[in-house]
Every structure is written in C-alpha cells, then in structure tokens.
Amino acid sequence: MGELSGKVAIVTGAARGQGRAMALALAGAGADVAICDVGEPAMPSVGYALGGALDAVAREIEAFGVRALHAACDIRRQAEIDAFVGRVLGELGRIDILVNNAGILTGNTPMHLLDDETFETTIAVNLTGSWRMSRAVVPAMIAGGNGGRIINIASVAGLIGTPGFGHYSATKHGLIGMTKTMAAELGAYGITVNAVCPGFLPTRMVEHTASEIGARAGLTQDEVYAQYLSVAHVKEPIQPEQTAASVLYLASEAARVVTGSNLVIDAGWSAT
C-alpha cells in the first residue's frame, strides 16, 4: 500500500506534460486520481493545441491499481468545475488533494502592446481558474474533516519579471499571493496550501512560446532554449517528473506542517 492509499487527488491540466506526470506520481503513491483538462482544441488567443487524450492517462493511472476518473473541464467556467467536483465526490467519495496545474502561456508581447483577449484569457485560466477550482473543492475538504492539500503550480515567473510575458508573470505572482492567503485561512482546518515554482521545462506550451520568440528574433528553438538555460546555474531543463516529485512531497505526511511556501525548482534561475 502506498503512502497516499485511501486518498483522492484532483489534478487539472493533466492530459500531458507535467500534469500527467503529477497524476501518475500520485497514483504511484496509492491515491485515486481524478484528472481534467480543457475539452476545446484551442482558445482563440492560444496558438497551440490544448487538451489531449485524458482517457489514455486514466488508463495509466489505473495500471497502478487505483481508481481513475477523467473529464473535460474548462476551468474558466464555474458550472463545468462544479459538475466535475460533484462527480469526483459522487464516484470517488472524497477529495484530499488538489493540484491546480492547468495554465496557458502565449503572447511574447510587451505589456503596453498586449491585447485585451490575450491578457484576460491568461488571467482567467491561470489565476481565476485556480481560484474557482479551489473554491469548489475547499468546502468538501472542510466537511470531510481530514484536512487536505492544495498545491498550486506557479512558476519562476511568479518570482521575477519576465519581459514579453508580463501577463503570464502577473498570474503567477497572483497565484503565489493566493497560496499564502489561503494557507493562513485554511490552516485551522488542517489544510495546507503551497506553490511549486518550476523554471525552464520544455513542455508543448514552452515549445510554442520558444517558437514565437524565435520567429521574431530569427533564432532556432535550440537557440531560444540556450537563452533560457543561460540564466540558470544548473544548465539543464527541468523535467516533468521533477515537478511531480515536489508535488508528491507536498501531498505527503512529511509535509503536514509545510504551508504558505513556494517550492522553487528552477535550476537556480531566481537565485540572482
């Protein structure tokens, strides 16, 4: 039996990349895992495909001998969130862990030139969506009386300025502020709230962003990646399994007194 046996976790944005890795890590530790991702192939202001094969990830979860639940859910829409959370409670019986991972990154535009749709969509997904999902889950955690873990996937961009991506940076700074506030509000219920701040992690989202930067600057994707790594002190990209290991720690009993914290996994990017 794994350390998280008998627990139920939700992971948003879990169709691929680090969301998938987090879901599998939690399942490997014995948790039943409910996963969701956006059902739309793309949002108008996002230039890369969203969503993915949730059913395939669910089968991978079930291979660990635990239960899986998957559903399309656009976290910009409260009705979809409420339906998803209701289904998790109805089918899996409880919610112990929430990983707010879903997010988007696009634009590569200075703040004063950014269009409304890009700014507002990024805020709606990365910040408001995480708040909406948390708002839906917390009452069930409190009612369950077993405490809980909320883990928000922020970014090194929530610790520094990111020219060209200020809208993204704003959402991640906001997510860290929300993390600290909710930690203070929910500690009395045994619910911890923490953030994970990854650095350069070459997911499909980052690949698309690198292509945008490269197209404007006349650089190849590898050259853009080299620029990302130039600001890190350990010259290697973060892997999804490394962020997943951080989530697993924060979900564990060992982290029961860790709350309001930012676990930074950025190869030293934010150190200077």
Say whether pLDDT at 8 is over 60.
yes
Identify whether 228 is a catalytic site residue: no
How far, in whole angstroms, is CA 186 from its chain's centroid? 20
pLDDT confidence of 24, banded at 50, 70, 90? very high
- pLDDT for residue 158: 96
What is the per-residue pLDDT for 248? 98
Mean pLDDT (the chain, rounded): 92
Catalytic residue among 168, 189, 228, 249: 168
202-244: pLDDT as tens digits:
877 777 777 777 777 788 888 888 888 888 899 888 899 999 9
Determine whether 249 is exposed, middle or buried from the number of CB atoms within 10 Å of its CB (0-12, 13-18, 19+): middle
pLDDT score recorded for residue 225? 83
Q: Are strands 97-100 and 148-153 parallel, antiparallel or unpaired?
A: parallel
Residue 28: partners with Cβ closer than 8 Å, 6 or more residues away: 2, 64
Q: What would the pLDDT profile of 39-80 be if each residue is shown by its tens digit? A: 665 555 555 556 568 999 999 999 999 999 999 999 999 999
The average pLDDT across 111-125 equals 95
Strand partners, 97: 9, 149
Whole-number pLDDT of residue 213: 79
Contact 198, 155 (CB under 8 A): yes
Residue 38 has pLDDT above 80, yes or no: yes
Instruction: For residue 95, give the 3-state DSSP assignment.
Output: coil
Q: For residue 50, what pLDDT is reported?
A: 61
Q: How far apart are CA 43 and CA 76, in angstroms?
A: 11
Of residues 13, 14, 7, the one with CA closest to residue 28:
7
Q: Mean pLDDT throughout 143-156?
A: 97
